[in-house]
A and B are shown apart, each in its own frame.
Chain A
Amino acid sequence: MDRQILIAGFGGQGVMLMGQMLAYSAMKKDYNVSWMPSYGPEQRGGTANCGVVISEQPVGSPVVNEPTECVAMNLPSLEKFADTVVPGGCLLINSSLADADVNRDDITILRIPASEEAEQLGEVRVANMIMLGALSEATSLLSVEYLKDMLSEVLPERRHGLIPLNEKALDRGRELAQKQLAVK
């Protein structure tokens, strides 16, 4: 297995945490992992992204240029990265904030209204966990149940009160992905 996952969005959407959650969870399953943030000046007030590599082999470059899975949390990210997904790969779009057409018929595309769904759960900031639940379902990378177990290890102790909400968000993401995948 060699997965190259790119997660992109606005600063504040939790894209870095989402990547760390993936990397940490895969590390605990004894995969080789890396997490690498974009750290250019564009981060300040603009877009942020991180690349996660999960592999049975030692990780080469931790920079993800051609993702096998890409999560686009907003429109600029979708426009920038839709074309970089490798054929056969998977593109997850936060359709609440990015509804542009994507001219690719060689990849799986899931449109998850993550921000709206998160608001319905009462906290827009869990949009990232909704997307992570959907990613888990779409790629059978790491199960939602396993990711739930990891929450207490990844989130700092002062945030542990938010674990039930994050679990709900992961479940909701899985549900939404299941529905779309059933149609395909």
Chain B
Amino acid sequence: MSKELVKGNEAVGEAAIRAGCRYFFGYPITPQNEIPEYISARMPEVDGVFLQAESEVAAINMVYGAGGAGGRIMTSSSSPGISLKQEGISYIAGAEVPCVIVNMIRGGPGLGTIQPAQSDYFQATKGGGHGDYRMIVLGPSNLQELVDLTYEAFDLADRYRNPVMVLGDGVMGQMMEPVVFPEMRDLDELPEKEWATTGRGQRDETNLINSLYLDPQDSYEHNMRLADKYARIKENETRFKTLHADDAEYMFVAYGTVARIVRKAIESLREEGHRVGLLRPITLWPFPDEAFEQLVEQVKGFLTVEMSTGQMFEDVRLALNGAVPAEFYGTTGGIMPDYRDVAEQMKKTMDKVGDAS
């Protein structure tokens, strides 16, 4: 397979179609507009459906309906649009409808800016919508990973009957980078969805897609079943990568675009002789807590870097549970951190932790 130079948003569209996505419902918003634009041209070539809805609320409910009928479905948006979709996402999680949702984050709150941010981490990983649900959240750090995770997101969604979010940002959507696309999936080889509302046919019972459990005992059992499923996802699907974990005395924690910048900071710090490394969560939910457990024996301190004022940082602190010091550095509101500032912050962390011990 040969490398292609592709824009992130278009790469998402192509990866989704190759994964077997044949239904897309969306509504325009910068900086993710090339996703629906690309898919609107590409979907007719594979006899799929592209529909620009009248709003984000309509789009997510179309996802709910089409997902319930068993198709591979995607919608995409950016922060304010994802906020509008939250009610639908909660229903989809409650009714266990598989689907893929892409959020190319822009700076908030409110209309904010169209520049990149990571300030929707809370919304993505802690609910966003109401109820005791979890969504699988994938945080790619380069366009190849964006392609691979988008492709796989459809399998994860189907395997667990759960919404999966691909969490990018404005940079990831707008930039071009070399990618190799995976094979086109054969739709006939996708697993059958016995639960889908495709008409009763020869089945004994009517399939029903629903999130309403009026009887509290029923509702309790439903929620406990969901909790078991979430525990299974955490057990099986937690992913992270490390860099220089073999000898690092201090570790950065960063995901997505920021992890790229941190890599540059690590290069320059290591040239100066500092033993620093990176822990990069790939699944933001489930969060890779156990990765920290393995590192606390060796690492003296962690510096979390985000394009927010500290959202994933809360998960890092929970994972560390006070075992070693945790520091934070962030830029927010559409500003990207500079790798030199990141390196400088790590030196401060090393001084601070060194002084305390």
Contacts and interface: CB of A to CB of B under 8 A. Distances in A.
A20 B171 contact: no
Nearest to A39: B174
A60 B178 contact: no
A37 interface: yes
A53 to B, nearest CB: 10
Nearest to B31: A39
Interface string A53-74: 0000111111101000000000
Interface string B163-203: 00000001100111110000000000000000000000000
Interface string B95-125: 0000000000000000000110000000000
Nearest to A36: B175
A45 interface: no
Contacts of B338: 61, 65
Given A39-B170, A40-B114, A62-B171, A20 B177 contact: no
A60 B264 contact: yes
A24 interface: yes
Interface stretch (A27-35, A117-125, A140-148): A27-35
A41 interface: yes
Task: Determine the interface band of chain B, counting residues with CB < 8 A from chain A.
Answer: 20 to 34
Given A39-B30, A63-B336, A58 B263 contact: yes
Give 10 closest A-B pairs by Cβ, nearest first: A60-B264, A35-B176, A36-B175, A62-B175, A24-B5, A27-B178, A60-B260, A61-B261, A39-B174, A34-B177
Interface of B: 3, 5, 30-31, 114-115, 142, 170-171, 174-178, 257, 260-261, 263-264, 267, 336, 338-339
Interface of A: 20, 23-24, 27, 32-37, 39-41, 57-63, 65
28 contacts: A20-B5, A24-B5, A27-B3, A27-B178, A32-B178, A33-B5, A33-B177, A35-B175, A35-B176, A35-B177, A36-B176, A37-B174, A39-B30, A39-B31, A39-B174, A40-B114, A40-B115, A57-B267, A58-B142, A60-B260, A60-B261, A61-B171, A61-B264, A61-B336, A61-B338, A62-B175, A63-B171, A65-B338
